[in-house]
Amino acid sequence: MKITLLNGSPRNGNTSKALLCFKDSLDSMHSVVQYNLYENSIKACRNCNCCQKEENGCIHNDDSNKILQTLIESDVIVFGTPVYYWGVSAQIKLLIDKFYSVNSRLTVKKKIIVIATGANPLDNIQYDLIDKQFHAISDYLHWDMIKFIPVSAYEPDDITGQNDIISEIKETAISLK
C-alpha cells in the first residue's frame, strides 16, 4: 500500500510529532512518502485554466506537480495540519487548491486521514470546520475519509504527554491494510 504523509506545519512541533508517530506505527510492508510542504515551493493557483486544456498539471514551475503525482499514485493520504485561524495551514491549502489541476486523476478511491493540531480545546468549532472541509473534499473526489483526529496541543511537545491521542494515532496507522 502506498501512503503519503503531508505535513502542513512550518515548525517541528505537534503536527510533525503526530505524523512521526503515525509513520513509525506503520507496517514495514507499506511504501511511505512524506512531504514537509513548508520545504517545497507551491505557488498559488491563479485560475488560468491552462491545466484544464491538456491536463498536464499546473503550469507553475513549482513542486506541486511532483507532489500531486504522488497523491494520484497513493492509496492513503494523511493530511497533518496545524490549525491556523479556524482552518488548515496555508501550506496545506495551497496544495488543496492545486487539486483542480488534476481533478479527474484524483478521483481514484483513496483512504484519507486528517490530523489537525490546535491550541484550543477539542470542543472548539475550529476542528468541526476542518473536519467538514475534508469530508466535502473527500465526497467530491469519491475518497473514503476514514479518520479525523483532532489534537489540542500548542507548545511543541504538548502531544507527547497525551497517551490517548498517541494511541489513537498508532491504532489508526496499524489498522491500515
Q: Which domains does the chain have, with CATH numbers?
A: 2-174 (3.40.50.360)
**122, pLDDT greater than 90:** yes
Whole-number Å distance between alpha carbons of 166 and 30: 20
What predicted TM-score, i.e. pTM, was given to this entire model? Answer: 0.96
Exposed e or buried b for every residue in 35-56, given b needs 16+ CB within 10 A?
bbbeeeebeebeeeeebeeeee
Percent of the chain with pLDDT strictly greater than 90: 85
Structure confidence by residue, pLDDT tens digits, 136-151: 999 999 999 999 999 9
For residue 135, give every residue at least 6 positions away whose Cβ sits within 8 Å of its Cβ, in sequence order, or none. Answer: 145
Is residue 55 very low, low, confident or very high in pLDDT (cuts 50, 70, 90)?
low
- All three cell numbers of 63: 513542486
Whole-number Å distance between alpha carbons of 5 and 168: 17
Burial of 29 (C-beta count, 10 Å sphere; 0-12/13-18/19+): exposed
Whole-number Å distance between alpha carbons of 78 and 122: 20
**56, pLDDT greater than 80:** no
Count of CB atoms within 10 A of residue 88's CB?
24
Is residue 127 very low, low, confident or very high in pLDDT (cuts 50, 70, 90)?
very high
